[in-house]
Structure 1
Amino acid sequence: MTYYADLTPYTYDRENWDPEASGLWRGVPLLNVGWLDRGKTYPQATTPPGVVETLNGMTRTHRAQQTRGYHFCPWCASRRVGARVDGPRGSAEIRVAGNGVAYAAPELIAHYVEVHDYLPPAAFVEAVLSSDVAD
């Protein structure tokens, strides 16, 4: 997976993100969150209660940009069983509406938070907890 610093403009699959299209996302900037890489440091801490559960729900309700291949967790994927890689894998992104922005995160973000103590930006955490999935 490609690394992007948190809160930078989303550029990964721009041709499928049209902020000028009609509907919910019209004119809304899309920002990266959780595009981690084994070779880069990231903020670590315990997230507020409910974040992991809500992010796990969002992998079912807020999916976007489904791909044909898989991305494996860069830390867990080092456990290989023969030619097979074991561990969490993702093949899509999630979109989260924030305060005047939207966030694009890899599907594995819940795993990163729960298992690797990744601490997403506060504005993203707030958007997750205030989403309809958090009810």
Structure 2
Amino acid sequence: MTYYADLTPYTYDSDNGDPEASGTWRGVEVLNVGWLRRGKRYPKGAPPPKLAATLNRMARTHRARQTRGFHDCPWCTSRLFLGRSDGPRASAEIRVMGSGVAYAAPELVGHYVERHRYLPPAEFIEAVLSSNTAS
């Protein structure tokens, strides 16, 4: 998967002329969150209660930008063998509205929080937990 630092402008697939990669969504700027890669450091910590569960629900209710291929969790997947993976995989991203911005995160972001201690930026956490999906 492509790596993007948290809170940088969203540009995924912009080199293919995709209008959804323009960096805006629903009229606001889109920022990256959770685009992690093996070998790159990321913030770790104990997540607030309900964060991972809410993100995992959002992977079903807030999906966007479905792709044709799959991304495998780089930490759970034992090396791929004949094109098969035994770890979590995903093929889309989620979008979360914040205060004046939107966030784009890979569909596995809840898994990263739950299993790999990824601690997203505070403003993203606030947007997720204040959404109607957090109940």
The 2-side partners of 1:16 and 1:112 are apart by: 28
* Matched residue type, 1:48: P
> C-alpha offsets along residues 64-115 of structure 1, whole Å, 9 cap, x if unaligned?
00011100011112x1474222100010000000010000000000010000
What's the TM-score, normalizing by structure 2? Answer: 0.90
Give the TM-score taking structure 1 as reference length. Answer: 0.90
Tell me what 2:129 maps to.
Answer: 129
Amino acid paired to 2:123: A
Which blocks of at least 5 consecutive residues in structure 1 are unaligned?
A: none
Name the stretch that deviates more: 11-20 or 84-93: 11-20
- Mapped partners of 2:79, 2:24: distance in 1: 44
Instruction: Give deviations 1:5-28, integer Å, cap 9, x for gaps.
Output: 00000000342425677xxx12x0
Q: Residues 19 and 43 (structure 1 numbering): CA distance in 2 closer, same or farther, change over 3 Å?
A: closer
| Structure 2: runs of 5 or more not aligned | none
Superposed counterparts of 1:16-95, under 5 Å: 16-17=19-20, 25-26=26-27, 28-77=28-77, 79-80=78-79, 82-83=81-82, 84-95=84-95
Show structure 1 runs of 4+ deviating over 3 A.
18-21
Which amino acid in 1 is paired with 2:85?
V
Q: 1:87 to 1:108 in 2, by over 3 A?
A: same
Partner of residue 115, structure 1: 115
- For the aligned residue pairs, the C-alpha RMSD in angstroms reads 1.6
Q: What does the per-residue CA deviation read over 1:21-67, in whole Å, with 9 as the maximum and x for residues that have no partner?
A: 7xxx12x0000000000010000001100101100110111000001
Distance 1:66 1:113 in 2: 21
SS in 2 for 1:30: strand
Tell me the distance in 2 between the aligned counterparts of 1:81 and 1:126: 36
The residue number in structure 1 matching 2:98 is: 98
Task: Name whichever of 121-130 and 83-92 sits farther off.
Answer: 83-92
1:7 aligned partner, one-letter code: L
* 1:2-17 matches, cutoff 5 A: 2-14=2-14, 15-17=18-20
Instruction: Tell me the number of residue pairs that the alignment of Structure 1 and Structure 2 aligns.
Output: 130
Q: Work out the percentage of aligned pairs sharing the same amino acid.
A: 65
Measure the CA separation in 2 of the matches of 1:20 and 1:31: 9
Structure 1 counterpart of 2:46, one-letter code = T
Tell me, what secondary structure is at the counterpart of 1:111?
helix
